[in-house]
Structure 1
Amino acid sequence: MLPGNYTRVSEFVIVGFPGLHPSYFQLMGGFFFCIYVTTISGNFLLVGLFVLERSLQKPMYIIMLSLSLSDIGFSTVALPKAVTRYWWNDGGISLYMCLFQKHMIHYFGNLNSLIFMTMAMDRYLAICHPLRYPKWMNNRTMLILTVFSWVSAMITPGITTIQSAQLPYCGPNQIIHCYCDTNSLNKLSCADISSQSAVSFSLAMFVLLVPFSFIIFSYVNIVVVVLRMVSVQSRWKTFSTCSSQLVIICLYYIPRCGVYISNLIKFTVSQDFVIGLTMLYSLLPPLLNPFIYCLRTKEIKASLVKWACRRQSNTHPKPSFHPIAR
């Protein structure tokens, strides 16, 4: 086995979907570009609303702000290189940039998982313990939880990135994915990666299952409390409040669990299908988050209307009246 600091390959190539015909490259690049622009625009809109509107500076909206910033970061790390690969056939990426991209991809993935857990915790306290909610969940508490999420999400990607940086790469250099990730990169090593793969998989399952278990616990308790409500209107209102979050969480976790389970049981599926499923749970939630929360949250809709009216009044000021001198 080659020593860990021996590296022959200094550049990798992002392949993307290996089965995609070149005649569809421009279309795929346009698809990724549209997703990126829409995701960035929608999430920056939420960030701007939070900064400008004091009425939105509450614990629940602090979570949304954190989620929007994470989605902006993930999309910016993942999509521009995928666009250049398909529009200009430029899939080249240096080893160190690949390691950086891999690290940030997993970092924002971990961060989103922790944010969803915090979101579920907030809803659990608000619905199951409404009298204690103002005391337990205030802006200070939410800021502490947010900082903890952003810092602790760095731990497991740091471990796997250090491991990948110590591996020798001296053979094939094609990343069979739309971005660099741990599995795709480690497969190209010319060393024994059994221990690294075991550590990476264990950390991934820990980051996935611990928040997911708490989310399931929270929403099961929420459902039990809601079903005990006498008023049908209150029951419907509470379910409507949580449904948008539940949709995003399902889109994020269910496909991810499918990919991990297929890797665990060595279930044979096409590489294009696995990549497509990975891109689904990676890109769809950041794309849909701003639209779901803007359409389903009354305070955000009211802030949007207020902001639009303010912009319109600034753009078209009322004419001033000057009486005619006699």
Structure 2
Amino acid sequence: MGAEWKLNDVNYTSISDFLFAGFPGLILVPELLGVTFILTYFLTLLANIFIFYVIRKHETLHTPMFIIICNLAVSDVIYSTVISPKIIQTYLFGNRTIKIHLCLVQMYFLHFAGSVDSFILLVMAVDRYVSVCYPLRYSTLITNTVAQRMCSVAWVLGAANPLLIVSYASILPYCGPNKISHLYCEYGLVVRLACTDTTFHLQMGISVGCLVLLCPFLLILLSYLKIIISVLKITTVSGRTKAAYTCSTQLIVITIYFLPRVFVYIAFTAGFSLQGDLRIALGIIYCLLPPILNPIIYSFRLKEIKQVMFKILKHKDITQLPSLS
């Protein structure tokens, strides 16, 4: 039984647990979903750790672009680890409840990892913008140190971003209902369960979302618009193809990450309610799909990583690989 408190001369008893709704309209064996999420999580860890290992181990890949990819891999592992274990527990063991304080912890790290991803993708866009639009100055403007510093700023901003919203969510009174219409503790859905007026808190969430989602997204769109213009001005076919191919890899990653999030954000801001399975499915897509697809995309589209992969498959020592330059 939770603590008692009074609101408008009415006594309420606070709750101590939240309950995840899951997929309300999905007719499937829960254990099958649990196994699916286990496999997804395992592959996510394996793929991102592989990318991180390859980049860290092979000095030829110690360039700004791969330093950024390495940071993204770490962020993706954190993102997936924050969400997947509880989803697996929900479907494999039938435990849909979560203590409120653990929900707040998950909320912090969920928004932390999501913010870091947004800012790192912005750093990636800046790297590609300078590479294509200022190729002669790229080596002096974007060094390994500069790339790592930009990524460090992304991590700091990502860590600071959720502090305010999670702090506000933690002091709200919760007395029921306690069902979260999702598979994890998303700020907006949790705050709506509070037994008080949450208009200010929801508006604050929208403002924070604009800062960490829409602002990077719009800056990325602007940078790629300028990249496209610069690519079209390249006279040689080989130069144009190389620039377009490299940038298209990042563009695929950015599209997978941002489009579902922007759609949900705009729908939430406009007051349009995404009900049931659609909201949950979109949440799963934009939280769990990018971490597993990112390393796959980089592995198959970047020749440097592909060459290293081929060497590994041939059982050669990665530390003795020849230069790929």
Q: How high is the TM-score relative to the length of structure 2?
A: 0.91
- 1:135 aligned to 2:140? yes
Of residues 34, 38, 42, the one that matches 1:29 is 34
2:119 is aligned with 1:109: no
2:173 match: secondary structure: coil
Distance 1:93 1:267 in 2: 27
**1:236-247 equivalent positions in 2, closer than 5 A:** 236-247=241-252
Alpha-carbon contact 1:11-1:92 (below 8 Å) kept: yes
CA displacement at 1:268 relative to structure 2? 4.3
- Shift of residue 299, structure 1, vs aligned partner: 1.0
8 A Cα contact 1:2 1:168, kept in partner: no
1:100 corresponds to: 105
Q: Matched residue of 1:154: which SS?
A: helix
| Maintained 8 Å contact 1:16/1:177 | yes
Match of 1:12?
18
Counterpart CA distance in 2 for 1:63 and 1:2 is 49
Shift of 1:217: 1.3
- Identify which of 209, 215, 225 aligns with 1:210: 215
SS at match of 2:18: strand
C-alpha distance in 1, partners of 2:61/2:98? 41
- In structure 1, distance between residues paired with 2:109 and 2:48: 18
Residue type of the alignment partner of 2:101: Y
Whole-angstrom distance in 1 between the partners of 2:156 and 2:262: 24
SS at match of 2:291: helix
Task: Look up the equivalent residue of 1:137 and give its one-letter code.
Answer: I
Question: How far off its partner does 1:234 sit?
Answer: 2.0
Q: Which of the numbers 41, 49, 69 marks the counterpart of 1:44?
A: 49
Identity score, percent: 36
Q: CA deviation at 1:308?
A: 3.5
- Deviation per residue, 1:105-149 (Å, 9 max, x gap): 111111100010000000000110011111110111111111111
- Counterpart of 2:22, as a letter, is G
Which of 193, 202, 224 is residue 197 of structure 1 equivalent to? 202
Aligned-partner SS, 1:153: helix
Q: Does 1:261 align with 2:266?
A: yes
| Structure 1 counterpart of 2:178, from 167, 173, 177 | 173
**1:120 to 1:312, Cα distance in 2 relative to 1, 3 A:** closer
Distance 1:236 1:205 in 2: 34
Counterparts of 2:214 and 2:237, CA distance in 1: 34
Task: Give structure 1 regions of 4+ aligned residues with deviation exceeding 3 angstroms.
Answer: 307-313
Structure 1's unaligned 5+ residue stretches are: 314-326
Residue 20 of structure 2 aligns with an amino acid whose one-letter code is I
Distance 1:142 1:312 in 2: 28
Distance in structure 2 (CA, Å) of the matches to 1:45 and 1:166: 41
Paired residue type of 1:50: I
- 1:119 equivalent to 2:124? Answer yes
Deviation of the 1:311 alpha carbon: 4.7
Q: Does 1:87 align with 2:92?
A: yes
Q: What is residue 324 of structure 1 aligned with on the other side?
A: none
Distance, in Å, in 1 between the alignment partners of 2:87 and 2:273 is 25
Asked whether the 8 Å contact 2:249–2:301 carries over to 1, the reply is: yes
The match for 1:77 is 82
Separation in structure 1 between the aligned mates of residue 31 and residue 111 of structure 2, nearest angstrom: 28
Work out the number of aligned pairs and report it.
311
**Distance (whole Å) between structure 1 residues aligned to residue 211 and residue 317 of structure 2:** 49
Give ranges in structure 2 of 5+ residues lacking alignment. Answer: 1-5, 319-325
Give 1:269 shift. 3.7
Secondary structure of the 2:94 match is coil
TM-score of the aligned structures, taking structure 1 as reference length = 0.91
Q: Can you list the C-alpha shifts for 1:139-185, whole angstroms capped at 9, x where unaligned?
A: 11111111111011122211100000010111122221111110121
Question: Could you tell me which residue of structure 1 aligns to residue 3 of structure 2?
Answer: none
Q: Which amino acid aligns with 2:293?
A: L
| Conserved? CA contact 1:102–1:180, under 8 Å | yes
Q: 1:300 aligns with which of 296, 300, 305?
A: 305
Quote the offset at 1:24 in angstroms.
2.7
Q: Quick one: distance in 2 between partners of 1:257 and 1:210?
A: 11
Alpha-carbon distance between aligned partners in 2 of 1:198 and 1:248, rounded to the nearest angstrom: 29
Distance 1:7 1:140, change over 3 A: farther
- Structure 1 residues 250-259 or 261-270, which shifts more? 261-270
Offset at residue 312 of structure 1 (A)? 7.8
Q: Which has the larger radius of gyration?
A: 1
1:256-278, CA deviations, whole angstroms, 9 ceiling, x for partnerless residues?
A: 11111211222244221011112
Alignment of 1:270-281 (within 5 A): 270-281=275-286
Q: What do residues 53-84 of structure 1 show as CA deviations (whole Å, max 9, x unaligned)?
A: 11111111110110000000010110111011
